A = this chain, B = another copy of it.
Amino acid sequence: MAKGRVVNDIRTLRFLAGEMTQAELGEKIGLTRQTVAAIEQGKYSPSLEAAFRIAQIFGKPLEEVFRWEE
């Protein structure tokens, strides 16, 4: 799997969701706070399952949370 990367708006969405913490988000979807932090910072991109769950928490379609940049 080559070129292109996934970016996300998790930080902003947490902020808009009343300062939801990384740990809180992690609890809701079954990920640790360290994993949430890494995903949020783009150190690696989440599994499709994790991406769906995160989007669901914020009540947004997946493609409004994660975007593919060529």
Show the binding face of A for B, using Cβ within 8 Å.
1-2, 4-6, 30-31, 45-53, 56, 61-63, 66, 68
Q: Chain B contacts of A56 at CB under 8 A?
A: 68
- Majority secondary structure, A binding face: mixed
Other-chain residue from B46, B53, B61, B68 in contact with A52 (beta carbon distance below 8 A):
B68
> Which residues on B sit within 8 Å (CB–CB) of A68?
49, 52-53, 56
Q: Which residue of B lies closest to A67 (CB)?
A: B52
Could you tell me the distance between the alpha carbons of A17 and B43 in the complex, rounded to whole angstroms?
35
Which B residues lie within 8 Å of A31 (CB)? 1
Closest to A61 in B: B63
Look across to chain B and name the residue whose beta carbon is closest to the beta carbon of A51.
Answer: B48
